[in-house]
Amino acid sequence: MDAEREREFDRVVAAEQRVEPRDWMPDGYRKTLIRQIAQHAHSEIIGMQPEANWISRAPSLRRKAILLAKVQDEAGHGLYLYAATETLGADREDLTTRLVQGRQKYSSIFNYPTLTFADVGVIGWLVDGAAICNQVPLCRTSYGPYARAMIRVCKEESFHQRQGYELLMTMMRGTEAQRRMVQDAVDRWWWPSLMMFGPPDDASSNTERSMAWRIKRHTNDELRQKFVDMTVPQAEALGVTLPDPELRWNPERGHHDFGQIDWDEFWRVVGGDGPCNRQRVDHRRAAHENGAWVREAAAAYAAKQARQEGAA
């Protein structure tokens, strides 16, 4: 019976059809998806912090409104994704507990600090840009609820990237001090952005299985290359220098070559020892604890509604 169901699952995946919550799926597939979608959800929620740091100090009402909308979008992305894990039988409270206890990861990029308002622009341009490279292929991922969530998420990510780029364009047309701020932010965020695609393919243990299940559609190195090729002309148009002396067009490969990523730094930050790891998780834990009364009140209200409906 299981063998038959497994054949049906394999057929659906191979035919580029979607696996849906009620369908049979291998245990490993379910576990891999829960882990990946949960990490993605955590990243959206933790990712609100570095930029929220600047909401109260945005330089104009217009910039404040844009930034607020962007940070709220990220909360929405987190909620879609937690809901997608629930269709796989995961429990949201349990996932949040794992996050605040440091037992489940989120994207390491959010462990870096936002030192100036130019960081808001560079995060939109590079970090949301890298997120788009990662997420557009996920619109075709084999698990239906995840793929559908990604379609909406990617539309909003494209707004995030544009608002960042437009902010940087404005600053680059400004004063010399503003141009220096932009360049400094680019210098600090460029390498961590390249790390967002994960370890190199030969060190990525999950890639092969995830590609076979069509959860993942491209390898880390393929996506990283795509991001570099896409970003170089944007940096030129902006008038900033990407901090990599080895970055150059390679006509034979038809791609840009780039320098060696500091994987020691990557593993150190993943392991918990980045500039803001503690701060990010502590902040999330405090927000969760301070929100306990809201969850209790919502649950009590829902129970009361259910009782009244039962009585009517």
| Residues at the interface with Fe ion (CB under 5 A) | 44, 74, 77, 128, 157, 160
Q: Is 264 helix (H, G, I), strand (E, B) or coil?
A: helix
In whole angstroms, what is the distance from residue 142 CA to residue 312 CA? 43
Q: Which is nearer to Fe ion, 119 or 128 (CB)?
A: 128
CB 149 to Fe ion: min, Å: 11
What is the number of other CB atoms lying within 10 angstroms of the CB of residue 226?
Answer: 18
CB closer to Fe ion, 148 vs 268: 148
CB of 220 to Fe ion, least distance (A): 19
The least distance separating Fe ion from the CB of residue 153, rounded to whole angstroms, comes to 6
User: Least separation, in Å, of the C-beta of 76 and Fe ion?
Assistant: 8
Name residue 193's amino acid.
S
What kind and span of H or E run contains 256? strand 255-257
Q: Which is nearer to Fe ion, 98 or 162 (CB)?
A: 162
Q: Are the C-beta atoms of 39 and 85 separated by less than 8 Å?
A: no
Report in angstroms how near the CB of residue 135 gets to Fe ion at its nearest: 8
CA distances to 191, 194, 244 from 259, in Å: 10, 11, 6
When the beta carbons of 12 and 147 are compared against Fe ion, the nearer one is: 147
Nearest CB to Fe ion, comparing residues 33 and 123: 123
DSSP 203-240: G-TTHHHHHHTTS--S-HHHHHHHHHHHHHHHHHHHT-
Are 171 and 118 in contact, with CB atoms under 8 Å apart?
A: yes
Minimum CB–partner distance for residue 131 and Fe ion (Å): 6
Q: Which is nearer to Fe ion, 152 or 179 (CB)?
A: 152
Burial of 40 (C-beta count, 10 Å sphere; 0-12/13-18/19+): buried
